[in-house]
Amino acid sequence: MVSARRFEGQTALVTGSTRGIGAGTARRLADEGADVVVTGRTVEDGEAVAAEITEGTPGTAEFVRADMRDPDDIAALVEATVEEYGGLDVLVNSAGVQTETAADEATMDDWDFVLETDFRSYWLTTKHAVAAMDEGAVVNVSSNHARLTMPEHFPYNAVKAGIDGMTRAMALDFGPSIRVNTVNPGWVAVERTTDDMDGEYREHLESIHPVGRLGDPEDVAGAAAFLASDDAAFVTGASLLVDGGRSAVMQDDTLPDYRE
């Protein structure tokens, strides 16, 4: 149970928060006292997350439906947040999709699907949000694919590297009143990554992580909360890896089984 109240009296907007890392981050911020706006395309899931937060945390939550590929929806989302809570202090951009396509196989539809959701929406949501902030923090959720990647993850991997660059640009353009940072998760056990994963492969993945397990949404949420809080008051333009040590590995065949 989180005991800190670093976000008491603050309002946070978390995109892509009907499930996974986004939902976990919304809960963490509310655990620390924030009033949170949950958003995504699926009304039933979003309302369930908001109800759970309101019933189980010191904060409150409201669900506002928005399609992050729609610029008008994004503008209306920020407007609804400010109208509901009177302002905005923290934005976490967590909406994300991917395709399993190589650079020579990806179509224009694949390109638009990923870039509009994972990249353009981050820029547009931040642009509207900072206009409503006197002071505040933005956290962009990227991936360890920004630094190391795998075949057939294009354009997802290119976009995640772009998010790190966008964070640096925003940190310069919005400072000193708005800090902007990135959290870069690795293997996190969410529906998108584990639904089709058999037990043997999951055990293999756990064995090659120096922490001996896959991540949970709460692991990323804790890092995002730190970057959004005054504990990170001198941190902006940074990218924080939260990947259980995977990026420290040169060759898997040199590793022990970290679960032992």
Q: Extract the residue ranges of the chain whose pLDDT is less than 50.
A: none
Q: Identify the pLDDT of residue 132.
A: 95
Count the helix, strand and coil residues of the chain and give each as a percent rounded to the nearest 5: 45, 15, 40
pLDDT digits (tens, 9 = 90+) for 72-93: 999 999 999 999 999 999 999 9
Residue 52: CB atoms within 10 A of its CB come to 16
CATH assignment, 11-254: 3.40.50.720
CB 184 within 8 A of CB 144: yes
Nearest CA to 136 among 125, 144, 147? 125
- Crossing angle between the packed helical segments 156-174 and 108-115, to the nearest 10 degrees: 40
Query: Which residue among 85, 122, 156, 201 is the active-site one?
Result: 156
> Where are the chain's structural domains?
11-254
Whether 65 contacts 38, CB under 8 Å: no
Q: What DSSP letter does each residue of 146-176 carry, written as one string?
A: GTS--TT-TTHHHHHHHHHHHHHHHHHHHTT
Question: Is residue 122 among the annotated active site residues?
Answer: no
| Residue 39 bridge partners (DSSP) | 64
What digits encode the pLDDT tens for the residues 144-168? 999 999 999 999 999 999 999 999 9
Query: Taking a C-beta distance cutoff of 8 angstroms, is the pair 130, 85 a contact?
Result: no
